[in-house]
Structure 1
Amino acid sequence: METLAIALLGFFAAGYFVLAGADIGTGMLAPYLGRTDRERRLVIASFAPFFLGNEVWLVATAGLLIGCFPDLEGELLSGQFPVVVALLAGWIVRDMGLWLRGRVGGHPGESGDGRTWRLVCDTAVAGGSWAVALAWGWLLAGLFSGSLDAPANGPVAALTALAVAALFAAHGLGFAVLRLTGDPYARARVLVGRTARAWQSFALTAALMAALPLLAGLRLPLTESAGSSIDLLVPALLVVTPLLVAVQAWMWHTFRGRVTRPSYL
């Protein structure tokens, strides 16, 4: 059961980094990809249908960690508390920007306060996305170094956090090339390269994103931290996981086309 629990933990964590990494990375680049209000709405519309479903993978990862590896979860939360706070703060700010952008401050065609409000929300989406990516890089820097009882520090940790954030951005860029049209697509295409096929960049960064949590997991004492509830939770997760995968596949299939006009956001 311990092996199955570890495999499921790696599957959920890798799924989160690949799927949510796409919308986080696109959000990081929204100010570059979208220069006007309409273009920024187009960029947000490219990942808006996915972001809540993608976050389910993080919830599943956290739930499995808490339920099956409670000792390790407690050590991580207490030792990496500042990193976790930064991650949650960025997550909340980003999601608030997405939720509130089209619900407060008037309609997209209006000026004045409505335009200012949408600019504030766009800033929250981009800033929150950067905060989330850097926080993950900071956390992974600690896990790679084997430091669970305190956040990583020093130049190596800083470089690791920046490298992980850059990978998030590159992953979002590949996603943007697959989803956007018009000028935002052209800007993304310039950075990806015009000679590469649209899916190649996304496939490469997806493989790298999936590898990040798996490599970090090799540094964790998972087997020694397995809890008594593992025999109950793992069978339940084995039943639920195919449903989660099926719903996620249906969502990505449904919204597989390019975005040609802004959404209500």
Structure 2
Amino acid sequence: MDSSVEAVVGALAIGLLGFFTVGYFVVVGAGLGLGMLLPWLAHDPRERRQVLAASARGGAAWLVAAAGVLLTCLPQMAGELLRERCPALLVLLLGLAVRRAGLLRANQASVYGCWLTVLGWSWLLASLLTGRTTGATGTTAAGTVAVVALAVALLFALHGLGFGTLRLTGRPFERARLLAGRGSSRELYALTAVAMVALPLVCGLQLPLWDAAVDGPVGGSPTWLAWLPWVVVPLLAAVAALLTVARTQARRTFPDTLRPAFRSALRGTRRGGPRGGTGGGAP
């Protein structure tokens, strides 16, 4: 098979992996961060339902697509990540499962799931950024990974907070604005979104992705998997295009759906009409 064609498919596979991973961190990362902050933003069942609804951003497509690229086009890299960073991946998978169960039942488990998921991601990304495996021993190595992981978790929380100031209404919105400070809500969300874009890209630079693409199915070894990238890459490229169109369309309609909520929240009203005090209880 022409090596130049293999190089193009390998480059597309790496590009798709980056695209889907970045999309996951920006879109779903906001929901995870908002879910982490739920105890501080919502003080009654109605407020909790509002925050849960805002935090339950659809992100399965992003994560499944990224995992599909990794497993089918870069299986050697997937195996290396599993061997060297298994504890962080287990925490991540547990968090995803707990969060999903909590969202389905609309209970406190979603908060625990968000914290576990962010812990798993923070641990995994910190190990990539520092070049340490999750099983590394030694006080210095563990301390470095812990500090970086804490910074990553804080970024998730800030990203969720910025999203909350744009999406929430009523008392949860007011609490989010209080936590965010006097800065612009859009500026906070934009800054954290840029950081969330950069984070997985910088981590990806620490991995030998090109070597994995050349040595794996894209390069024709093992032979029985050589056909997978030729099916998966075009399919996921189409998915990427559809997701981009969907996000663009949502962005165009987003301001029109939020402006009434902003005016309502700033006047201290609820959907059922003006409220006083804490705004608790059903109308």
Give the TM-score normalised by structure 2.
Answer: 0.78
Mapped to 2, the partners of 1:243 and 1:62 lie a distance apart of 18
Q: What is the one-letter code of the residue matched to 2:129?
A: F
56, 72, 80: which one aligns with 1:75: 80
Mapped to 1, the partners of 2:35 and 2:62 lie a distance apart of 18
Mapped to 2, the partners of 1:215 and 1:225 lie a distance apart of 17
Aligned to 1:165: 153
Aligned to 2:245: 246
5 Å matches for 1:19-30?
A: 19-30=27-38
Q: Does 1:146 align with 2:131?
A: yes
Aligned to 1:186: 174
Q: What is the one-letter code of the residue matched to 2:155?
A: L
Q: CA deviation at 1:78?
A: 2.1
Mapped to 2, the partners of 1:84 and 1:127 lie a distance apart of 16
Checking the alignment, whether the CA contact within 8 Å between 1:83 and 1:151 is kept in structure 2 is: no
RMSD of Structure 2 on Structure 1 (CA): 2.1
Checking the alignment, whether the CA contact within 8 Å between 2:127 and 2:134 is kept in structure 1 is: no
Mapped to 1, the partners of 2:197 and 2:164 lie a distance apart of 19
Mapped to 2, the partners of 1:234 and 1:181 lie a distance apart of 41
Structure 1 gap segments, 5+ residues each:
102-120
Give secondary structure in 1 for the equivalent of 2:59. Answer: helix
84, 87, 101: which one aligns with 2:89: 84
The structure number with the bigger radius of gyration is: 2
Mapped to 2, the partners of 1:21 and 1:36 lie a distance apart of 24
Which stretch of structure 1 is more off in the superposition, 240-249 or 60-69?
A: 240-249
5 Å matches for 1:96-245?
A: 96-101=101-106, 121-122=107-108, 124-147=109-132, 150=135, 154-194=142-182, 196-226=183-213, 227-228=216-217, 229-245=228-244
Checking the alignment, whether the CA contact within 8 Å between 2:124 and 2:134 is kept in structure 1 is: no
Q: CA deviation at 1:251?
A: 4.9
Structure 2 gap segments, 5+ residues each:
1-8, 218-227, 262-269, 273-283
Q: CA deviation at 1:128?
A: 1.1
Mapped to 2, the partners of 1:66 and 1:93 lie a distance apart of 24
Give secondary structure in 2 for the equivalent of 1:154. Answer: helix
Q: What is the one-letter code of the residue matched to 2:125?
A: L
Q: CA deviation at 1:156?
A: 0.8
Change (3 A) 1:69 1:149: farther
* Residues paired across the two proteins, number: 238
Which stretch of structure 1 is more off in the superposition, 59-68 or 227-236?
A: 227-236
For residues 79-115 of structure 1, the C-alpha deviation after alignment (integer angstroms, 9 at most, x for no partner) is 21111111011111111111012xxxxxxxxxxxxxx
Change (3 A) 1:198 1:76: same
For residues 166-189 of structure 1, the C-alpha deviation after alignment (integer angstroms, 9 at most, x for no partner) is 100000000000011111111110
Mapped to 2, the partners of 1:146 and 1:76 lie a distance apart of 12
Q: CA deviation at 1:54?
A: 1.7
5 Å matches for 1:23-38?
A: 23-38=31-46
Q: What is the one-letter code of the residue matched to 1:128?
A: G
For residues 198-236 of structure 1, the C-alpha deviation after alignment (integer angstroms, 9 at most, x for no partner) is 211000000001111100000101111112243443223
Structure with the bigger RCO (C-alpha within 8 Å, sep 6+) is: 1
Q: CA deviation at 1:245?
A: 2.2
Identity percentage of aligned residues: 47
